[in-house]
Amino acid sequence: MIKPGLKYISALFLISAVLMSCRGQTTENPPIRHHFNMNFQERFNAQQENPFFEDGMAMRMPVEGTVARGNLRHDLALFEGIDDDGEYIDEIPFDLTRDFLYRGKDRYDIFCQMCHGGTGDGRGIIMTGEYGYVPAPTFHRTESYDMPAGELYSAIANGIRTMPSYATQISVEDRWAIVAYIRALQRSQNIPEEEMERYDVDLAELQQLFREEQEREEARAAAIAAAADDEVSVELGERLIVQQGCQACHSLDGSPGVGPTLAGLYGSEVTFVDGTSTIADEDYLYESIVDPGARITEGYDNVMASYAHLSESEIQSLVEFIKTLADE
């Protein structure tokens, strides 16, 4: 049995030893490594050369024909939005619960709203023109209503035209949740009056709010038009081509793109999908800017948004600039 006095002496000695070891002095001796192989592991870093392989690459491609665990995406409908025949599916492969739709709203607000707008009208905050982006199409048009759910999913997963792929940012389930929310937005903006009367809403008040919003928008557009320079110039048209992001779809040098090239367009014969044709004069160029869906050029899709929000002088300036490309 240890005597009390000896126990106290031992404790005092131990405390003294601890305090002596914390004097804050530096040393030039190398640190003690209990597990030396953890500091210098026998492995290769990214992009490092490995002489073991004939090509010298340490980073190896997966063995041909193999699939990593968890990446066997054999369900085409779920992972690609298509059926066995390669056609887009129209059914969302998830139960449309309240939580699922709200998840879609959350992801939509994060990734989609800035371009497609809060209601899906294509009037997001960065689609104002000053950023140089091609305006996003509205979801409230016949083409979007008729678009299968799988095609909407594919646009998110793979990108479409100037829209990039979001496959690395949005999971498969969240992509379908966004598709479901887009469908909900489409229905929310097209509810018949007789159906709205079944709910506890003041329809007259909503209609008044809508009229007031329309009046504010018209007043804003009129103010912008009044403030715009009335001078029509090729220089202004060239600036607008850049500001409005026109070159994202229409090249200026004759190279192919999402839309017809502007080089040599003026004065040329344009054939439409219905078999008719016309000469691309000033009236045709004006119509194509204001109402691009009126006549669709053969070989291209009806994807261009209207630029009717531009002032008259801006539209005319665009026409004048396009005319200068006739001989290019």
pLDDT of 65-92, one tens digit each?
888 887 788 889 999 999 989 999 999 9
Give the phi and the psi of residue 127 in degrees, each rounded to 5.
-100, 20
CA distance 322 to 237: 8
Residue 308 has pLDDT above 90, yes or no: no
Predicted confidence at residue 253, as pLDDT, reads: 85
Q: Cβ of 132: how many Cβ atoms within 10 Å?
A: 14
Judge whether 311 lies within some domain.
yes
Question: Among the three residues 188, 217, 249, which one is the final residue of a domain in this structure?
Answer: 188
Unique residue bearing structure tokens 């509205």: 138
Over residues 3-54, the pLDDT tens digits come to 566 777 777 777 776 666 665 667 777 777 777 667 777 788 888 899 999 9
User: pLDDT at residue 151 above 90?
Assistant: yes
Strand, helix or coil for residue 298: coil
Identify whether 205 is part of a domain. no
Residue 109 pLDDT = 93
CB atoms within 10 A of CB 178: 25
Other Cβ atoms less than 10 A from the Cβ of 70: the count is 6
- Domain ranges, residue 308: 234-324
How far is it, in rounded angstroms, from Cα 319 to Cα 232? 10
The DSSP line for 53-111 is STT-BSSPPPPTT---TT-----HHHHHSB-TTSPBP-S-SS---HHHHHHHHHHHHHH
Does some domain include residue 1? no
Instruction: Clarify whether residues 94 and 177 are in a common domain.
Output: yes
Task: Tell me: do 82 and 182 sit in the same domain.
Answer: yes
Angle, CA 297 vertex, CA 87 and CA 151 arms, to 5°: 20
DSSP-derived 3-state class of residue 248: helix
Q: What is the pLDDT of residue 176?
A: 97
- For residues 184 and 238, state if they share a domain: no
**Confidence band for 218, pLDDT divided at 50, 70 and 90:** confident
Residue 221 lies in a domain: no
170 shares its domain with 239: no
Q: Find which of 60-69, 192-201, 279-288 is predicted with most confidence, using mean pLDDT.
A: 279-288
Spatial separation of the C-alpha atoms in residues 315 and 244, rounded to whole Å: 12
Of the listed ranges 53-62, 87-96, 218-227, the one predicted with least confidence: 218-227
Phi, psi at residue 302, to the nearest 5°? Answer: -85, 80
Do 154 and 84 lie in one domain? The reply is yes
Q: Domain containing 278 — which CATH number?
A: 1.10.760.10
- The answer to whether residue 145 is domain-embedded is yes
> Facing residues of 272 across strands?
297
Q: What is the mean pLDDT of the chain?
A: 83
Three-state DSSP state, 227:
helix
Max mean pLDDT range (111-120, 214-223, 237-246)? 111-120
pLDDT of residue 81: 93
Per-residue pLDDT at 221 exceeds 70: no
Q: What are phi and psi of 274, to 5 degrees?
A: -85, 5
Asked, for residue 225, whether it belongs to a domain, the answer is no
List of residues 6+ apart from 133 with CB closer than 8 A: 115, 126, 127, 162, 245, 248
Residues 104 and 181 in one domain: yes
Count of domains forming the chain: 2
In a domain, 217, yes or no: no
CB-CB contact of 190 with 104 (8 Å): no
| Co-location of 244 and 179 in the same domain | no
pLDDT in tens, 268-305: 999 998 989 999 999 999 999 988 888 999 988 887 87
Does residue 226 fall inside a structural domain? no
Lowest mean pLDDT among 61-75, 90-104, 145-159: 61-75
CA-to-CA distance for 129 and 205, rounded, in angstroms? 32
